[in-house]
Amino acid sequence: MRIGLFDSGIGGLTVLAEFIKKYPNCEYIYYGDTANLPYGTKSKEELSVLADKIIKFLISKKIDLIVIACGTISSNLYSEIKDKYNVKIIDILTPTINYITQNKLNNIGIMATPMTVKSQFFEKKLVNVTSIACPKLVPLIECGEFTDELKQAVKAYLQKLKGCDYIILGCTHYPLIIPIIQKYSTIPFINMGKCLVDTINVNSKSTLHIELYFSKLTSEIITNVSKIIKENKEIYERKV
């Protein structure tokens, strides 16, 4: 089975890593739009154009399933694009909503991008939710280093969620900074990638094959990718 995933940058690789862990017998094609990140501050119109190009590129790779490994695209566009193309498309947010509902979790804090917060996606599906926009995080995470600026930003955002019982990492970049999150908060967090992988059933007899495409490829990106995806992989620069 060929599975395509995409995100604004390296964040969606956290979702890919969860897939590889559970389904190591698939072919994976990933697209990270590093030339246009962050997505979290772009307009819905801009996001629509970018997502359309990436989805068409993944379709050209003859994939069987597309995973929107991006909270911003999922919250703002999924309802519009899920039936637009001749391929099954799933989003990253719905499985997390289902997980929270099924386990009757309450008093949820959400760390997400400004556009995800603006969409009110979680507020429309859940009760007793506190959402905070974290615009500084994605650009800082993409640098690949746990800088003091990143640590202070995380600490400040977490302060706003002190009274919550659970925290959703509402952007797929955020699992990359779990050590920082755990340093400044003891509140249990929810990893959307794990929620997604735990709720789907993939039947594949393929040999593991990983192709990673980025709209802008640098030595820093290659280094960061290798920290997330340990398996053998092919990495390319490709604008769509």
Residue 95 contacts residue 80 (beta carbons within 8 Å) = no
Give the active site residue among 70, 134, 164, 195. Answer: 70
Q: Strand, coil or helix: what is 170?
A: coil
> Which are the contacts of 168, defined by CB distance < 8 A and separation ≥ 6?
96, 100, 108, 109, 110, 111, 112, 122, 189, 190, 192
Integer Cα distance of 35 and 213 in angstroms? 12
> Is 134 designated active site?
no
Q: Phi and psi for 82 in degrees, rounded to 5? A: -60, -30
Q: Of 26, 134, 164, 171, which one is the catalytic site residue?
A: 171
Dist. CA 28–CA 112, nearest whole Å? 26
* CA–CA dist 235, 119 (Å, integer): 33
Instruction: Mark whether 171 is an active-site residue.
Output: yes
Count helices and strands in the chain by DSSP H and E runs: 11, 10
Residues that are catalytic: 70, 171
